[in-house]
Structure 1
Amino acid sequence: MTTLIDAIELEERQPIDNSALAPLIKRDLGLIKHVRVELSVELGTAEMTVDELFALKSGDIVKLLQQVNEPARLCLDGKAVARGNLVAVDDNFGLQLTEIL
């Protein structure tokens, strides 16, 4: 069995000026605006048996069920809140939002 692996080249994006954009929620959030939350980006999922899981070693590739052109999910506390495209910003990854859920 031959597996073809393609490297994905990410387009570098410059940060956009958000000062002219409307906020997602138009409420007075003064009481909680200082609360910090942690977001995570989910690129995809995979299914495997416990035997396959314990057989993984450095250099192995885990094939995700999502296609390359599918958007990544932005999650808050494990729940998707937005979708977007993975981009490179300077030397970091970023997520350009395309849909707010």
Structure 2
Amino acid sequence: MNMTRVESIQFEELDETSATGEKPMVKRDVDALGHVAVQLDVVVGNAVSTIGELFQMAEGQVLKLDRGLDELLELRLNGKTFARGQLVASGDHFGIKIVELA
């Protein structure tokens, strides 16, 4: 029988230091996994539409999403939600402030 050893990951409580990225949230040596490529998606919301409606869309038209302005965004790693956060400005770019780990 093949056996796989599974180790738990210890997460630290988020504080001001970890929110700025100065301390890692995971206490673990991840050097062995550092080269593994993953897909990270930030989901703002979803919309359902027909092909006909999409083809009729015009520049400047608004597509309504299923989430409110105050709702958290989802961070998905390879399709699975692992955290939620708030959209923030980071200089001239958008950023995500992590507020919840799933």
Unaligned runs of 5+ in 2: 1-18
TM-score, normalised via structure 2 length? 0.70
Residue correspondence of structure 1 range 51-70 to structure 2 within 5 A: 51-70=52-71
CA RMSD of aligned residues (A): 1.8
Identity across aligned pairs (percent)?
Answer: 38
Q: Which gives a bigger RCO, structure 1 or 2 (Cα 8 Å, sep 6+)?
A: 1
SS in structure 2 at match of 1:31: helix
Q: Which amino acid is the alignment partner of residue 53 of structure 1?
A: L
SS in structure 2 at match of 1:63: coil
Residue correspondence of structure 1 range 62-81 to structure 2 within 5 A: 62-81=63-82
Q: Which amino acid is the alignment partner of residue 52 of structure 2?
A: D
Larger Rg over CA atoms: 2
Q: State the 1:72 CA deviation.
A: 0.6
Residue number in structure 1 paired with 2:87: 86
Partner Cα distance (1:79, 1:100) in 2: 12
SS in structure 1 at match of 2:87: strand
Q: 1:35 to 1:21 in 2, by over 3 A?
A: closer
Residue number in structure 2 paired with 1:8: none
Q: State the 1:59 CA deviation.
A: 1.3
Residue correspondence of structure 1 range 2-81 to structure 2 within 5 A: 16-23=19-26, 26-81=27-82
SS in structure 2 at match of 1:73: strand
Partner Cα distance (2:66, 2:20) in 1: 34
Unaligned runs of 5+ in 1: 1-15
TM-score, normalised via structure 1 length? 0.71
Q: 1:76 to 1:97 in 2, by over 3 A?
A: same
Q: 1:81 to 1:64 in 2, by over 3 A?
A: same
Residue number in structure 1 paired with 2:12: none
Partner Cα distance (2:51, 2:59) in 1: 17
